[in-house]
A and B are shown apart, each in its own frame.
Chain A
Amino acid sequence: MELDPLIHQATRLRVMALLARNREAPFTWMQETLGLTPGNLDSHVQRLVEAGYVHQWRALTASGFQSRVRLTPEGDAAYRAYLAALRAVLEGA
């Protein structure tokens, strides 16, 4: 099994792992949690948005508009497949 090259990147992998556990999260919270600059996180999120793995939108909250990111069903399936492939690689090592 081949590791999905889009997910198999240090930052995107952590983004996907975080969203897989939370399904949906505010962009600023992800940025603080992962210790990334807004530009760095945004560039990786956009790559995942283009692949259809995550969905990004602006939600109106009590404190104003907030950028949020959510794992799509396609992204969830891709992450699960990645974990299965990673497990196979580790067991074969």
Chain B
Amino acid sequence: MGDPTLSAQEAAAAIRSLQDADAMIRRRTAGLMWMIWGLVAPAIFASYGFASAADPQGLWWRLLWLPWAAAGVGATVALWRSAGLAMRTRERPPRAEVAWHVGLFVVLVVGSAVLVQALGAPVSVPAAVLAALGVASMLLGAFGLLARDAVERRASVAAGALLVAAAAACALSGTGAQLHFVVGALASGLAFYGAGVLLAMRG
């Protein structure tokens, strides 16, 4: 009844093939998620740049990050739900992982901005946000947290290094915060969107 022509190696490969396809979908979806946040982050920096220039004393723009973050969360959840439909093994999309990524992003952006203002630290808010995002991204990549494989770890470290370098350039240049918002938008877009493209294309 068994197949004498089926070797043990071929049997193992047949089982693995069902899982490998899912790993590929998962990595590409992660890449698309990075790309989404590579658009959300620059949008937040740009919004704050415009708002703080138009109304420096205003308080209304303190919650400007919220609609962008909400849009990012909505797109991320929809993306993983769609990917879940395509996964052959029908594993549930890793909700906890998505929640960690999104939660960490929001906490770092809002937390670092609030902290810098509360302490009156001699760095601009965009530089502090860039540094917080960069250090977190580097640590997550270096220790393999929330990263599935070596490619994602390297992408995370590289993106983090770029953000930290941009933050350091802002801090050392002594230019105004307005320019730092522009640097923040460009650096976060390049780092997150670039890492996402790498993951999505190499998946």
Question: For chain A, which range describes its interface: under 10, 10 to 19, 20 to 34, or 35 or more residues?
Answer: 20 to 34
Question: Of the candidates A9, A17, A86, which one forms a contact with B8 in the assembled complex, judged by CB atoms under 8 Å apart?
Answer: A86
Question: How far apart sit A86 and B3, CA to CA, in the bound complex (Å)?
Answer: 14
Q: Does B55 sit within 8 A of A, measured CB to CB?
A: no
Smallest CB separation, B9 vs chain A (Å): 7
Question: Of the candidates B2, B15, B90, B91, which one forms a contact with A17 in the assembled complex, judged by CB atoms under 8 Å apart?
Answer: B15
Which of A8-46 touch B at CB < 8 Å?
8-10, 13-14, 17-18, 21-22, 25, 33
Q: Does A62 sit within 8 A of B, measured CB to CB?
A: no
Question: How far apart sit A9 and B9, CA to CA, in the bound complex (Å)?
Answer: 13
Known: A8-B3, A22-B89. A17 touches B14 (CB 8 A): yes
Known: A14-B18, A21-B18, A33-B88. A90 touches B2 (CB 8 A): no
Question: How far apart sit A25 and B10, CA to CA, in the bound complex (Å)?
Answer: 24
Residue of A nearest to B2 (CB): A5
Q: Are B8 and A90 in contact (CB under 8 A)?
A: yes
B residues sitting closer than 8 Å to A (CB atoms) are 1-3, 6, 8-12, 14-15, 18-19, 88-91
Ranked nearest first, the 9 interchain pairs of A and B with the lowest CB-CB distance are A5-B2, A21-B89, A8-B2, A9-B3, A89-B8, A5-B1, A17-B15, A22-B90, A33-B88
A residues sitting closer than 8 Å to B (CB atoms) are 3-10, 13-14, 17-18, 21-22, 25, 33, 47, 83, 86, 89-90, 93
Between-chain CB contacts (< 8 Å), 14 pairs: A5-B1, A8-B11, A10-B10, A13-B11, A13-B15, A14-B14, A14-B15, A14-B18, A17-B15, A18-B88, A21-B18, A22-B90, A83-B15, A86-B12
